Amino acid sequence: MIVLKFGGSSVADAACMRQVARLAEAALPHAPLVVLSAMGKTTNGLFDAAKAAEAGDLAEAMSRQRALMAAHRKAAEELFDGAVPESLDVALTDLFGELELLLRGVAMLRELSARSMDAIASLGERLSTRIFAAFVGGAWVDARTVLRTNEVFGEAAPQQAAIHSLAEMHLKPQLAPGRVVVTQGYIGATEDGLTTTLGRGGSDYSAALFGAALGAEEVQIWTDVEGVLTCDPRIVPEALPIPDLSFAEAAELAAFGAKVLHPATIQPAVEAGIPVTVRHTQKPEGRFTTISAEVRSGRPITALASRGPVTVLTVSSTRMLAQSGFLARLFEVFGRRGVSVDLVATAEVSVSLTVEADVPLKPLLQDLSAFATVEIHEGRAIIAAVGERLKSTPGLGARLLTALGDINVEMISMGANEINLSLVVKEERTAEALRRLHQVLMGSAL
């Protein structure tokens, strides 16, 4: 069997859903499990409605609820030429009734807990899958009966052993050649049945978890680009799809800003040895990318990615000189404050590192100032050049730095796995830096 995951842009309206239905029909010989996101912009609409309710503006929350209801009913009516099946009509009515009750509860208490937000956010996927399953005549499975998580609402961690056994119980009996099974991405539930979400972008993760649990032949991620590209096409229009990627390359690109994949998508597939393909929903015969543990591209540079803004902290102390334990003390501060560090570069008496731009700096600086001086440089970006022969290709680093010309590189870090060279530049120079570096990439043996 195979898993087909479709994002919000792929199920944005009735016309898009028809195309998804054609792709699901083409996959019928492979006993497809179709994993859907919410219809485009629905999740944002649910968040906005919840925030309006939290602010006590019930009228605004209900207005947004009615707008979402109208959009989903319109899609259903167009798919069924105005004759929406009674069972689907009842299901949609029940789901929007549930949403109304949740919003009224938030408005009454003026409190929006992470648990309540997950319950509200889950409605998007539950709505889109009800409509699609009815349209294709497929089996609808509530992902919350399979995707078991912990109780960290808003960013729940899956419990893979439980997911495997629950998939055997609730999903596997439904799967068969010639039949479409439809379920939701992004959402799960605790052992007690409380609704959780995997965080924004978590539908890809869901697809990989289901694929791993079911021993799928392939996990297909259908989106609005022809695979993983050599760079962001909005910045570099001449960016090209990459035919194949190693898991290591894909993980690096995802972690450093590539928009196609959720970083956590890779891990379940790696562990299960399942290839992941990234395909264009509207161009099913077009180019695509295959990500597999078996791929060894041997390319000097495979692709470029960027992430920003980030903040660079340079921590200096003469106590570092010939002293053991300084770095342990330094990183203990970040660990205690729950701050994740991306890049690190060290010198004799200083350490430079990058953190996300929204990190609360004041308490961090208070702790660090007890034993070091700290310089702060905000508004920076990380550019990552990723390739399996990046380190072993003589002169490549010089070519990359030369291509940047007058763009100042403030920090350089070679990834521990030797396939990622990361550069830090001012954020406003990111686009130009990517365009210049992409010329070097295209000149290498891809």
pLDDT tens readout for residues 58-85: 999 999 999 999 999 999 999 999 999 9
242 with 251: CB under 8 angstroms?
no
Q: Which region among 29-33, 264-268, 304-308 has the lowest average model confidence (pLDDT)?
A: 264-268
Structure confidence at residue 446 (pLDDT): 46
183 with 146: CB under 8 angstroms?
yes
> What is the rounded radius of gyration, in angstroms, for the C-alpha atoms of the chain?
24
What is the distance, to the nearest Å, from the Cα of residue 281 to the centroid of all Cα atoms in its chain?
Answer: 18
Overall average pLDDT of the 352-373 stretch: 90
Q: What is the mean pLDDT of the chain?
A: 92
- The segment(s) of the chain belonging to CATH 3.40.1160.10 are 2-223
User: What is the C-alpha to C-alpha distance for residues 196 and 186, in angstroms, rounded to an integer?
Assistant: 9
Overall average pLDDT of the 284-294 stretch: 88
Overall average pLDDT of the 236-248 stretch: 89
Q: Which region among 161-165, 193-197, 373-377 has the lowest average model confidence (pLDDT)?
A: 373-377
Overall average pLDDT of the 286-311 stretch: 85
User: What is the C-alpha to C-alpha distance for residues 126 and 141, in angstroms, rounded to an integer?
Assistant: 10
**Is residue 417 very low, low, confident or very high in pLDDT (cuts 50, 70, 90)?**
low
**Is residue 259 very low, low, confident or very high in pLDDT (cuts 50, 70, 90)?**
confident
User: Residue 293 pLDDT > 80, yes or no?
Assistant: no
The residues, any chain, with a CB within 8 Å of residue 318's CB and separated by 6 or more, are 349
User: What is the C-alpha to C-alpha distance for residues 243 and 223, in angstroms, rounded to an integer?
Assistant: 16
Distances (CA, A) of 25 to 2, 129, 178, 218: 13, 16, 8, 16
Overall average pLDDT of the 149-160 stretch: 96
User: Residue 130 pLDDT > 90, yes or no?
Assistant: yes
User: What is the C-alpha to C-alpha distance for residues 373 and 234, in angstroms, rounded to an integer?
Assistant: 39
- The segment(s) of the chain belonging to CATH 3.30.2130.10 are 303-443
Token output for 44: 């944002």
110 with 54: CB under 8 angstroms?
yes
Percentage, residues of the chain above pLDDT 90? 72
The residues, any chain, with a CB within 8 Å of residue 326's CB and separated by 6 or more, are 317, 319, 320
**Is residue 320 very low, low, confident or very high in pLDDT (cuts 50, 70, 90)?**
low
More confident residue, 343 or 24: 24
**Is residue 121 very low, low, confident or very high in pLDDT (cuts 50, 70, 90)?**
very high
More confident residue, 393 or 235: 235
Whole-prediction pTM value? 0.85
Q: Residue-wise over 401-413: b if at least 16 C-beta within 10 A, else e?
A: bebbeebeeebeb
Overall average pLDDT of the 178-200 stretch: 96
Structure confidence at residue 295 (pLDDT): 63
User: Residue 445 pLDDT > 60, yes or no?
Assistant: no
Structure confidence at residue 86 (pLDDT): 97
Residue among 197, 187, 211 at smallest CA distance from 265 = 211
User: Highest-confidence range of 150-159, 220-229, 294-303, by mean pLDDT?
Assistant: 150-159
Q: Which CATH number fits domain 303-443: 3.40.50.720, 3.30.2130.10, 3.40.80.10, 3.20.20.70?
A: 3.30.2130.10
**Is residue 248 very low, low, confident or very high in pLDDT (cuts 50, 70, 90)?**
confident
Across the strands, what pairs with 220? 4, 277
Q: Which CATH number fits domain 2-223: 3.40.1160.10, 2.40.10.170, 2.60.40.420, 2.70.70.10?
A: 3.40.1160.10
Structure confidence at residue 396 (pLDDT): 85
